[in-house]
Every structure is written in C-alpha cells, then in structure tokens.
Amino acid sequence: MEHRPSFFKKADIFLAIALLLLGFGTLALLKSGQKDGSFARVTVDGTLYGTYRLDEDRTVGIETPYGRNVLRVEGGKAFMQEADCPNHDCVEKGAVSKTGQIILCLPHKLAVTIVNEGEEAPDAISY
Amino acid sequence: MRSLTETRGSARIAACGVLTALALIFSYIEFLVPLPIAIPGIKLGLANIVCLVCLYALGEKHAFLINVTRIALAALLFGSVFSALYALAGGVVSFAVMALLKRTKRFSVCGVSMAGGVFHNLAQLAVAGLLVESAQVFYYFPVLLLSGMATGIGIGILATLILRSIARDTLL
C-alpha cells in the first residue's frame, strides 16, 4: 500500500468523463424514444381507473380505496394537483406529457401513465 | 504494536468484527437520518468509507466479507427483503467495480469510490427496473449518476484521509 495515497490521479478525470458520457448517452437514448403523448391513463392497484385526453383541459377527482387524488390536465400536460397521501411525491413530481412518463402515488397504489392512441388497450389487458 | 495491514490471525478477525460493526453503525445512521431529498435512492454511502478502507488496508477478500455481512445484518435489523435485495445488488456490483479499478492501480481512492457510487446506483436501478418490469426507472439514471459521483468523491476523500492515518500510525 502507498504510504501517502494521493487524493486524485490523472486517470480519475478520464473515469469521470467516461461515466458522464454513459449518463448523457442513456438520457439521449431515452429521450430519442419519447414523443408527446395523447392520453393520461390512470390505474389504481393495477386496474384501469380511466383514460383522459391530454388535449382537453379538465380536473379529475380520483377516489381510491386508499385515499383521494386530484389530477389536472392542462395544455397537453397532466399533473397531480392535490393528494391526501402522506408524502406528496406525486404532487412534487410535476407535469408529464411525453409517452412513457409516469406519476406514481405509491401510498394510494395509483399510477398516471402518458400513452398514445392505440397503446392503452394491450397494456390494460396485460395488467 | 502492528499496523492493520500486518495483523494476522485472531487480531485480524477481531479487526474485521470491529470494522463490520462500524460499517453497520454507518448504515444505521443513514437509515435513521435520511437525506431531505425527494428523489429516492440518493444517499451518502457512509458505510462505503469502511468498505474502501478495508479494500485498501485488508484486501479484497476481507473487504467483500465485511461488506456482505454488513448488508445482511442491516437487512435483518432494520430492513426488509426488498431493501436487502437492493442493498445486496448495489453492494456487490459496486464492490466488483471498485476492486477491478483498484487492481489497475491507475486510479486514486476517490476515483475508485466515485465509480463505486455510480455503479451502486446503477445496480439498484436495474433491480428496480426488474421489480416493476419497466425501463422507465432509467430516467432517474442521470440524476443518480451525478449524485453517485458526488457522494463517491466525498466518501473517497474521507477514506483517503483515513488511509493516510493508518499508514502513519498503528491501529492494533
């Protein structure tokens, strides 16, 4: 073992760059597969609760056996306006609009997924 | 009085026990005081200080056993089956990466720790992806990558300081 190990070596910089490239590469790969979604699909406990068009602004009150959530659809985006869950992760998640994006409210076993036309049917069945 | 690297036999076993207990305490501190950040999966990785010091001062075998024992005990004492699965995936993968990078002798402790932090988070994301059967979890990857690098470097600096002290003084 070295007696006074140095804090940083030159190779660390290359390692950091390699890791960052890995991260940005993953992000670019995921983004390239994304497009604007047309529906917000709401499931409670894995079963379909409802599917809402993103091009019509509306407020949806969702009563689950575990608690209440209020989903707001506005300007092609969906976000959780209110929830009586303890952590409010779903409200802090913010707005989603791209296919595959998801708002989860784990305490209420609620998931809001952005989907495209035709995509909601097979998924609903596979649950 | 011999240094930690030179200890043999029962003294070494005792040292491993003490270090496992120390790593377990770090795990417990992180369990008790979670970071006030909304993103799940971000943590300091305090127990990795012990893992790094063991890796450099005692060698791969002892470091691996201490780390796995620490994870198993933490899961038994204050975790669940799922937390054990996440912790074990993160612990084993990050340990493998750190041990391999250390073997190249090209990287500093901080560099090794930085990669360890990133691969810890990557392994946990992979487990999360398998459990929820969705690749969507990888949207978290860039955030977890940056946090893994940052905490990994911080932990690496602390481990370097400790390793310098061990090289100077004696523990046993």
Which residue does chain A place closest to B104, by CA atoms?
A11
Dihedral sign from CA coordinates of A15, A17, A19, A22: negative
Tell me how far the alpha carbon of residue A39 is from its chain's centroid.
14
Residue B125, domain extent: 4-168
Contact between A58 and A42 under an 8 Å Cβ cutoff? The reply is no
Nearest CA-CA distance, residue B10 and chain A, Å = 22
pLDDT at residue B97, rounded to an integer: 97
Query: Digits of tens for pLDDT over chain A (127 positions)?
Result: 446 778 888 899 999 999 999 888 888 887 776 777 888 999 888 888 988 998 889 999 999 888 899 999 998 899 999 899 888 888 888 888 888 788 988 888 888 988 886 544 444 444 4
Task: Compute CA distances B74 → A77, B22, B80, B84, B86, whole Å.
Answer: 42, 12, 9, 8, 12
* Interface size between A and B, measured as CB pairs under 8 A: 74
Nearest CA-CA distance, residue A14 and chain B, Å = 10
Q: Measured between alpha carbons, how far is A17 from B120 in angstroms, rounded to an integer?
A: 18
Contacts of B55 in chain A (CB under 8 A): none
Going across the sheet that includes A110-115, the strands are A47-53, A39-44, A110-115, A102-105
Mean pLDDT of chain B: 87
Asked if the Cβ–Cβ distance from B110 to A7 is below 8 Å, we say: yes
In CATH, what number is assigned to the domain containing residue B105? 1.10.1760.20
Asked if the Cβ–Cβ distance from B142 to A23 is below 8 Å, we say: yes
Flag whether the ipTM exceeds 0.85: no
Query: Digits of tens for pLDDT over chain B (172 positions)?
Result: 455 656 567 888 888 999 999 999 999 998 888 777 766 678 899 999 999 999 998 899 999 999 999 999 999 998 888 888 889 999 999 999 999 999 999 999 999 999 999 999 999 988 888 877 766 677 788 889 999 999 999 999 999 999 988 866 555 4
Nearest CA-CA distance, residue B31 and chain A, Å = 17
Instruction: Report the candidate in A81, A119, A83, A118 with the shortest Cα–Cα distance to residue A100.
Output: A119
Tokens 């770090």 belong to B26
Domains of chain A: 39-126 (2.60.320.10)
Quick check: helix, strand or coil at residue A30?
A: helix
Global confidence as pTM? 0.69
Contacts of B118 in chain A (CB under 8 A): 19
Quick check: helix, strand or coil at residue A58?
A: strand
Structural domain total, chain B: 1
Task: Compute CA distances B163 → A72, A109, B20, B48, B51, whole Å.
Answer: 54, 47, 17, 13, 12
Q: Measured between alpha carbons, how far is A42 from B75 in angstroms, rounded to an integer?
A: 34
Please state, as a whole number, how many other Cβ atoms lie within 10 Å of the Cβ of residue B136. 16
Question: Which residue from B38, B108, B114 is facing A6, i.e. has the nearest CB?
Answer: B108
Contact between B116 and B152 under an 8 Å Cβ cutoff? The reply is yes
pLDDT at residue B47, rounded to an integer: 94
